[in-house]
Amino acid sequence: MYNLFKLNNGLRVVLENIDYVNSVSVGLWVENGSRNEDSINNGISHFIEHMFFKGTENRTALQIAECIEDVGGQINAFTGKEATCFYIKALDSHLELALDVIADMLFNSKFLAEDIEREKGVIIEEIKMSEDSPEDVLADLHSSAIWGEDSLSLPILGTVETIKSFNREQIVEYISSHYIPENSVISISGNFDCAIVEKLVEKYFGNWNSKNKKVTNYSNPSILTNHLYKKKSIEQLHLSLGIPGIESGKDNLYALLLLSNVLGGGASSILFQKIREEKGLCYSVYSYISSFRNTGIVSIYTSLNPQYAADALSMIKDELDKFIKTSISDEKIHKAKEQLKGSYILGLESTSSRMFNNGKSVLFLNRINNPKDIIEKINNIDKYKLNEVMKNTFEKGILNAAFVGEEVNLELLSNIINKDFVSFKNSRSELI
């Protein structure tokens, strides 16, 4: 059973009562992430996420963790490009404790100068650890290739330089302007009494307000035609290819997800069977979609010996061309739908996954994504819809790419990508 309502201060609340479980998951979603930042304060959203765990007027950092873990619960948070989420999962008997702790972190965090300085060191180490991961480096590099100077391309962690610049005044001001009830959602899933929970949410969050409000307003970034390469002393070449996708909230996303799964979604996909199983050129190859406000991208990823890069890229181009020109059989569409439905439903088997699903849906779309409605949308995908989506996405071809590795012939790989696509007459290839 779902219940969606709004407090007088504009805070949206979504409840999903699941009476056959003994747990409850509580999440505070804030529509704020690295996309809300600029080159000066890049990384501040993720930094604030860390600082909320460093102690409040009522609890030390240790007590924040202990009060949840001592009752067998879990507490954590994450920051993305467009949202930050703080969440707790515990036995249903500890629902009020979960709300109390999240509210305490949000409203009563101290942000002591010594804690800020200490956390700078922690996050700088996190940035360095990310720089040791070629997949992470590739993701940030490809974002720059796709969106250029738009804030959507900014790294979630920020940079060492921006992290070093943060101070208490800057953090408090940013929270007061971006962490506002109008930009936020409380999502709760599990076993509880809805009437009691409504009163508890009002008790802990009803007085939340801010005088310095900055309601999120996202840009409409163009998808650029860049090929970027970053040299890194590693054995393999990691590459990511970008194809125009679909922005978040559109029903056509389900048809795009089906197409992406057929092309590169698993071990039975076209790319996996051709590039890995038949040719043995790589260990991993797959495609996936990323959707944001006003934009989206389909990415194809693989990592392999640099000497096979040109062959693999040519094969990917060939398979993409066949994929675009060859109609998918009714049997294949049916199987792809079943895979899509199975993956979606299995992903909702816990109270935390349902809390995430509901919270994200209400935060960005202001509605609940009921699983029955999603299944119906998947069932309604037909060849007409697939052809429409194919035309607006895959048929536009590979528009951008990023490469991370020791040795790359960027000119050769760029030429392979650009071949047969006139849109690349203004493309840019660059060594980062």
Residue type for 243, please? Answer: I
C-beta atoms surrounding 73 within 10 Å? 20
Rounded CA separation 373/247 (Å): 19
Q: Which helix (H) or strand (E) holds 63?
A: helix 61-69
Rounded CA separation 267/251 (Å): 26
Rounded CA separation 343/275 (Å): 24
What contacts 41, CB < 8 A, 6 or more positions away?
Answer: 162, 166, 170, 174
Cross-strand pairs, 172: none
How many CA atoms lie within 13 Å of 144's alpha carbon, on the beta-carbon side?
21
| DSSP string over 77-127 | EEE-SS-EEEEEEEEGGGHHHHHHHHHHHHHHB---HHHHHHHHHHHHHHH
Rounded CA separation 252/382 (Å): 11
49 is catalytic: yes
Closest C-alpha to 235, from 273, 277, 283: 283
Cα–Cα distances (Å) from 27 to 187, 351, 380, in that order, read 5, 11, 32
Sheet with 184-190, strands from edge to edge, namely: 2-6, 12-17, 184-190, 23-30, 84-91, 74-79
- Among candidate residues 16, 31, 49, 119, the one labeled active-site is 49
Catalytic residues: 49
